Amino acid sequence: MKLAVFCGSRDTSNHNIVKEAKILAKTLVSKDITMVYGGARSGIMGIIADEMIALDGKVIGVMPKILVDKEIAHPGLTELVIVDDMSVRKTMMNEMSDAFVAFPGGCGTMDEIFEVITLNQIEYFNKPVGFANIDGYYDGIHEFLKTSVANTFMYPSHLEAIQFEATSEAIVDAIVKGVSLN
């Protein structure tokens, strides 16, 4: 199984997010799940990749050439796929992944996960999606989605298909269950 993990390329001062990032890596390796991610060596992206590599896990990075040229690519990945731009990166990650998790991150993380949610809604594909809601990080997003349903901009079934879990282990378990149901 290949799981796309969307997360921040910057460091965080939230020690629990860092702890859960390492737990996510250990959980993925223990379940023989390959991580597909943006390919950076910095921030939460780098923490998860470093931990997985140290545990002999499989990690595939997908990165636009412009970011490789800025030398932020992780040097120890199982595979690094270099693409032309961010749009191609998202398409490639979406196509090669069986499921998707948004770990805490910023606008790039939101861009990536909302594209996947939209692709599920328009039935381009049907793949499990979840939020690692560490310390309530994604409570606001969850409320936004509930408001979208309440105002009929989103079907209740689409919201019900999105997993929100408070720990790394719980979100991986929910996603694995979702993959097995598809």
Q: Residue 147: which CATH number?
A: 3.40.50.450
pLDDT in tens, 5-18: 999 999 999 999 99
Q: Is 146 part of any domain?
A: yes
Domain count, the chain: 1
Q: Give the tokens for residue 60.
A: 């595939």
Amino acid 56: pLDDT? 98
Per-residue pLDDT, 135: 97
Alpha-carbon distance of 153 to 117, in angstroms, equals 13
Phi and psi at 4, nearest 5°, equal -80, 130
The answer as to whether 112 is a domain residue is: yes
Task: Give the model's pLDDT for residue 181.
Answer: 77
Strand order of the β-sheet with 99-102 is: 79-83, 59-64, 34-37, 2-6, 99-102, 129-132, 162-165
Q: Is residue 182 part of a domain?
A: no
Q: Domain residues for 89? A: 2-177
**Which CA distances in Å does 23 have to 103, 106, 154?**
12, 20, 33
pTM: 0.96
Quickly state the pLDDT bin for 82 (edges 50, 70, 90): very high
The verdict on residue 23 lying in a domain is yes
Residue 58 lies inside a defined structural domain of this protein: yes
Domain assignment present for 111: yes
